[in-house]
């Protein structure tokens, strides 16, 4: 292994460039992961198109990508060298470990969080990344690198549903039948939900979701949610009208968890929330979800490979980032081991 690697940088909005850079140096508690698969996330696309996302602005070349898997290639001085060669799924964050949030087990809310592909922290569209050993989770051979990378969005789904106190027999409404919506549907089923309604404006996406977790599909281009009442609503659309309508469909003492990112401020049906004592919140990434996610995929309860519709090499990151514009595409993967 040389100490140089190839990496795909976002150099300005709409433009990525393949460059050589140093392989990351390891802290004593880290491992070096040779990246094998990186999922393209909506936030990557947003950075690519706009050069910023919410408060985060890309003002120097940045490596995108934070849904990843790979193989451990080297270990820091405090890590067991027998880990070298392990296939792993990566939880792409480094909390400080010292603050009140970290000490309380809510490390996702750590104010000092270092998170992949969030300026100025580089991500995973490159050959090697460094990560704390504890956040590189070994995966069994039965899990593909693609599926292992997608344990990141699965983690979002698991955490959203855990926050909504999902349990055997829960009823769930999901807005948006994109990759996240489909993964939420699969996770809801695996976590015991018995009625899983999904909405979208694409018949193709809805048909796909019905094959992968959802028990009922509603095309909100033609239909509304009148008469729908659920215990849990998960927004995976980021659409303000979908959020509004979804919350209205939540019954007494239910939960609305907003996963999709849209406008900073959204008009919500506050009287309905008050009169039904609905809990509204969002998720900010995840905590402690990889072990369960790996187990769900390994056991076959959840099929993440099914959402992968295209794969690209490291020199094709621009194509990967534009792939979502093509018809019938769900999740694109970048494999830095090819070209």
Task: Tell me the C-alpha distance between 22 and 27, whole Å.
Answer: 15
Instruction: Work out whether 60 is an interface residue with a copy of itself (CB under 8 A).
Output: no
Residue identified by tokens 């959840």 is 302
Q: Tell me which stretch binds a copy of itself (CB under 8 A): 10-18, 143-151, 161-169, 308-316.
A: 161-169
Query: Judged by CB under 8 A, which of 71, 73, 84, 268 binds a copy of itself?
Result: 268
Near a copy of itself in 90-109, by CB under 8 A: 97-101, 103-109
CB of 116 to a copy of itself, least distance (A): 17
Question: For a copy of itself, how many residues bind (rule: CB under 8 A)?
Answer: 64
- For position 277 contacting a copy of itself by CB under 8 A, the verdict is yes
Asked if 66 contacts 114 with a C-beta cutoff of 8 angstroms, the reply is no
The smaller minimum CB distance to a copy of itself, of residues 5 and 225, is found at 225
Q: What angle do CA 42, 48, 50 make, to 5 degrees?
A: 95
Residue 8, classed as helix, strand or coil, is strand
Q: C-alpha 98: how far from its chain's center?
A: 25
Minimum distance from residue 43 beta carbon to a copy of itself (Å)? 13
Q: Does 30 bind a copy of itself (CB under 8 A)?
A: no
| Residue 164 CB, nearest approach to a copy of itself (Å) | 11
What minimum distance in Å lies between the beta carbon of 288 and a copy of itself? 5
C-beta closer to a copy of itself: residue 119 or 313: 119
Distances (CA, A) of 74 to 28, 81, 86, 88, 131: 11, 8, 10, 13, 11
Options 167, 221, 224, 339; binder of a copy of itself; rule CB under 8 A: 167
Site stretch for a copy of itself (CB under 8 A), options 12-20, 35-43, 157-165, 196-204: 157-165
CB within 8 A of 122, min separation 6: which ones?
Answer: 7, 62, 63, 116
* Interface pattern 179-218 for a copy of itself (x via CB under 8 A): -----------xxx-x------------------------
Q: Which helix or strand (DSSP H or E) is residue 240 part of?
A: helix 240-248
DSSP letter at 242 equals H
Among 25, 114, 253, 338, binds a copy of itself (CB under 8 A): 253
Give the separation between CA 42 and CA 21, rounded to whole angstroms: 26
- Per CB under 8 A, 303 contacts a copy of itself: no
The 8 Å CB, 24+ separation contacts for 85-88 are 86/136, 86/138, 87/36, 87/138, 87/139, 87/141, 87/143, 87/145, 87/148, 88/31, 88/33, 88/136, 88/137, 88/138, 88/139, 88/148
Between residues 249 and 308, which has the closer beta carbon with respect to a copy of itself?
A: 249
120 preceded by cis ω (within 30°)? Answer: yes
Residue 134 found at the interface with a copy of itself (CB under 8 A)? yes
Binding site for a copy of itself (CB under 8 A): 29, 54, 97-101, 103-109, 111, 132-134, 158, 162-163, 167-169, 190-192, 194, 243-244, 252-253, 258, 261-284, 287-288, 291-292, 295-296, 299
């Amino acid at each position: 292994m040389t100490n140089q690697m190839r990496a795909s940088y976002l150099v300005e909005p709409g433009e990525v460039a393949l460059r050589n850079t140093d392989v990351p140096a390891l802290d004593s508690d880290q491992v070096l992961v040779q990246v094998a698969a990186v999922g393209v996330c909506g936030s990557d696309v947003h950075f690519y198109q706009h050069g910023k996302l919410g408060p985060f602005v890309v003002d120097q070349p940045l490596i995108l990508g934070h849904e990843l898997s790979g193989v451990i290639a080297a270990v820091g001085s405090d890590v067991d060298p027998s880990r070298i060669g392990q296939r792993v799924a990566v939880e792409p964050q480094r909390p400080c470990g010292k603050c009140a949030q970290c000490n309380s087990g809510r490390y996702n809310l750590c104010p000092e969080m270092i998170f992949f592909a969030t300026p100025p922290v580089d991500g995973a569209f490159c050959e090697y990344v460094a990560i704390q050993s504890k956040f590189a989770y070994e995966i069994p051979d039965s899990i593909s690198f693609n599926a292992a990378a997608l344990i990141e969005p699965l983690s979002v789904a698991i955490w959203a549903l855990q926050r909504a106190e999902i349990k055997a027999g829960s009823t769930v409404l999901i807005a948006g039948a994109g990759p996240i919506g489909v993964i939420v549907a699969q996770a809801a089923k695996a976590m015991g939900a018995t009625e899983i309604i999904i909405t979208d404006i694409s018949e193709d996406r809805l048909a796909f979701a019905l094959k992968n977790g959802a028990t009922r599909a509603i095309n909100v281009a033609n239909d509304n949610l009148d008469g729908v009442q659920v215990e849990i609503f998960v927004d995976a659309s980021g659409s303000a009208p979908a959020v509004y309508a979804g919350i209205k469909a939540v019954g007494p003492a239910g939960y609305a968890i907003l996963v999709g990112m849209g406008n900073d401020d959204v008009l919500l049906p506050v009287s309905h929330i008050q009169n039904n004592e609905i809990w509204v919140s969002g998720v900010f990434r995840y905590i402690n979800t990889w072990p369960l996610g790996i187990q769900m995929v390994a056991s076959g309860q959840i099929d993440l490979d099914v959402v992968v519709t295209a794969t690209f090499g490291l020199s094709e990151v621009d194509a990967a980032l534009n792939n979502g514009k093509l018809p019938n595409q769900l999740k694109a993967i970048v494999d830095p081991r090819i070209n």
